[in-house]
Amino acid sequence: MLPIIEPFRIKSVEPIRMTTREERVQLLDKAHGNLFFLHSQDVLIDLLTDSGTGAMSSEQWASVMRGDESYAGSPSYLRFEKAVQDILGLPEVIPTHQGRAAEHLLFSIYGGEGKVILNNTHFDTTRANAEVSGALALDLPCPESKNTDDMEPFKGNMDLVRLRAELDQHGKAVSLVMVTVTNNAGGGQPVSLANVRGIRALCDKFGVPLYIDACRFAENAWFIKQREEGQADRSVAEIVLEMFSMADGCTMSAKKDGMANIGGFLASRNSELAADFRRRLVVTEGFPTYGGLSGRDLEAVAQGLHEVLREDYLNYRTASIQYVVERLHERGIPVLRPAGGHAIFLDAARFLDHIPWQQYPGQSLAIELYLEGGIRSCEIGTCMLGGTDPETGEETKALHELVRLAIPRRTYTQSHMDYVIEIIDAVWQKRKTLTGTRITQAPPVLRHFSAHFEQIQEGSVV
């Protein structure tokens, strides 16, 4: 079989500044051991996030020049609106500066004290917006998602048994059901059409609206085409339309499958509701024909939404992630399987099984990947998701100790991925020499962004 090549050639390049291990030791020391404090010029391969970090196409850059910056009634908005309507089939389109602003608008109506929001897994900003409104946000991931080595094809699915139970238990308090595609917090794993159908049926039975958190809708549809029975001969565009035909609306961050560096939207079928959203939008984001965006941003997103449906692109994107996951798995390195749509997740609890969770094995691994090869990744484990129990004062454990290597869209090539594999393997070979991590200073909330870290010395008392 021929290799799956990057389906583009490169017109503009951004140099990477090479650094040595010695330099990186000093740079990380200055950053208090926190990768969020590093300057991006001090990173060789930046896999911190796939959000807004992708490369735009020549057509997107051309559309940027077409951007019309009129305050009201810009043709750029009409192109944006039409792209969303054509691709997702949702008639009411409300632009926002990014995904969380769309969530904020959504929960200004569906949130509030006493309300319950159900989701396969809330992304952190979705949860934060629901909770800030006073609502209770519950995650209902399917049981297979708990095992990082279970090859079930749709580990992003919602647990329908629990969904029914929660709808029964909370009754009218449930104001909204959401399904996140792909399930980002659950490892970028897809949700099947069959699962969305099951969710829709329960929403109909209980009279609750269903919204899709659509950030990676195209990657999800590609997995449906690849993995779900009877879907192989359909186009990704058709699958997307069917998925959204079951929803009352969606929130979207265009920094993911919008293929843009900024942008988002809220879309809905309900014109009365949309009028209410638009009244609120003017107060916080801007006039309804631009949201928080410039005309050129609207153009880039409109074009990006079409490009993301290209199957050669989706094939290359998922193949490059699967390529890394398989090479690591072949070498016995613990990695989340099957491969997800936007990132590679190392299982740090198994990778560094000599480091107890209280010493943040994920953070130790992320730090060593930077020191060894200048790769910036992100701990998604007890550092990020755990914390101090307000009652007992004890540290609470996250479900998994993961390190996420998120792949920006159309940005790195296969040789960058080969380099990533070799660096991870080099750290794997010397894993027994790695020690745990200690937090020396941390804020009370969202501590992973600004905590200071220190490596625990071999043999020291902790």
Q: Where are the alpha helices (DSSP H) in 308-360?
A: 311-330, 348-351
| Smallest gap from residue 246 Cβ to ligand PLP (A) | 18
Count the neighbouring beta carbons within 10 Å of the beta carbon of residue 442.
Answer: 18
3-class state of residue 65 by DSSP: helix
Phi, psi of 210 (to 5 degrees): -120, 125
What is the x/- site pattern for ligand PLP, positions 13-52, by CB under 6 A? --------------------------------------x-
- Residue among 42 and 50 whose Cβ is closer to ligand PLP: 50
Task: For residue 315, give Cα distances in angstroms to 221, 321, 322.
Answer: 12, 10, 10
Q: Name the segment binding ligand PLP (CB under 6 A); options: 98-106, 237-245, 322-330, 374-382.
A: 98-106
Task: Decide if residue 170 touches ligand PLP (CB under 6 A).
Answer: no
How buried is 30 (Cβ within 10 angstroms: 0-12 exposed, 13-18 middle, 19+ buried)? exposed
- d(C-alpha 347, C-alpha 147), whole Å: 11
Task: Decide if residue 290 touches ligand PLP (CB under 6 A).
Answer: no
Q: Using omega within 30 degrees of 0 as the cis cutoff, is the peptide bond preceding 182 cis?
A: yes
Tell me how far the alpha carbon of residue 203 is from its chain's centroid: 25
Q: Name the segment binding ligand PLP (CB under 6 A); options: 4-12, 149-157, 252-260, 432-440.
A: 252-260
Identify the DSSP state of 10.
-
- d(C-alpha 367, C-alpha 330), whole Å: 24
Q: Name the segment binding ligand PLP (CB under 6 A); options: 118-126, 197-205, 395-403, 448-456.
A: 118-126
| Smallest gap from residue 286 Cβ to ligand PLP (A) | 16
| Smallest gap from residue 186 Cβ to ligand PLP (A) | 10
Of the candidates 344, 322, 317, the residue with the CA atom closest to the CA atom of residue 411: 317
Task: Decide if residue 253 touches ligand PLP (CB under 6 A).
Answer: yes
Among 85, 125, 284, 414, binds ligand PLP (CB under 6 A): 125
Contact 251, 181 (CB under 8 A): no
- Residue among 192 and 364 whose Cβ is closer to ligand PLP: 192
Task: Decide if residue 127 touches ligand PLP (CB under 6 A).
Answer: no
- Residue among 27 and 210 whose Cβ is closer to ligand PLP: 210
Q: For 71, what's the count of Cα atoms within 13 Å in the CB-facing half-sphere?
A: 3
Task: Decide if residue 347 touches ligand PLP (CB under 6 A).
Answer: no
| Smallest gap from residue 309 Cβ to ligand PLP (A) | 19
Count the neighbouring beta carbons within 10 Å of the beta carbon of residue 174.
Answer: 25
| Smallest gap from residue 410 Cβ to ligand PLP (A) | 18
- Residue among 98 and 133 whose Cβ is closer to ligand PLP: 98
Structure tokens given for 286:
């801007």
- d(C-alpha 187, C-alpha 193), whole Å: 18
Task: Decide if residue 264 touches ligand PLP (CB under 6 A).
Answer: yes
Tell me how far the alpha carbon of residue 251 is from its chain's centroid: 13
3-class state of residue 139 by DSSP: strand
Task: Decide if residue 129 touches ligand PLP (CB under 6 A).
Answer: no
Of the candidates 319, 365, 367, the residue with the CA atom closest to the CA atom of residue 345: 365
Task: Decide if residue 100 touches ligand PLP (CB under 6 A).
Answer: yes
Task: Decide if residue 215 touches ligand PLP (CB under 6 A).
Answer: yes
Among 120, 148, 175, 180, binds ligand PLP (CB under 6 A): 180
Task: Decide if residue 190 touches ligand PLP (CB under 6 A).
Answer: no
- DSSP β-bridge partners for residue 344: 405
Task: Decide if residue 184 touches ligand PLP (CB under 6 A).
Answer: yes
**Cα end-to-end distance, the chain, whole Å:** 53
Among 57, 76, 98, 189, binds ligand PLP (CB under 6 A): 98
- Residue among 76 and 120 whose Cβ is closer to ligand PLP: 120
- Residue among 46 and 368 whose Cβ is closer to ligand PLP: 46
| Segment 48 to 87, residues that bind ligand PLP, using CB under 6 A | 51
Task: Decide if residue 324 touches ligand PLP (CB under 6 A).
Answer: no
Q: Which residue is nearest to ligand PLP (CB)?
A: 99
Count the neighbouring beta carbons within 10 Å of the beta carbon of residue 146.
Answer: 12
Binding stretches for ligand PLP (CB under 6 A): 51, 98-100, 123, 125-126, 180, 184, 213, 215, 253, 255-256, 264
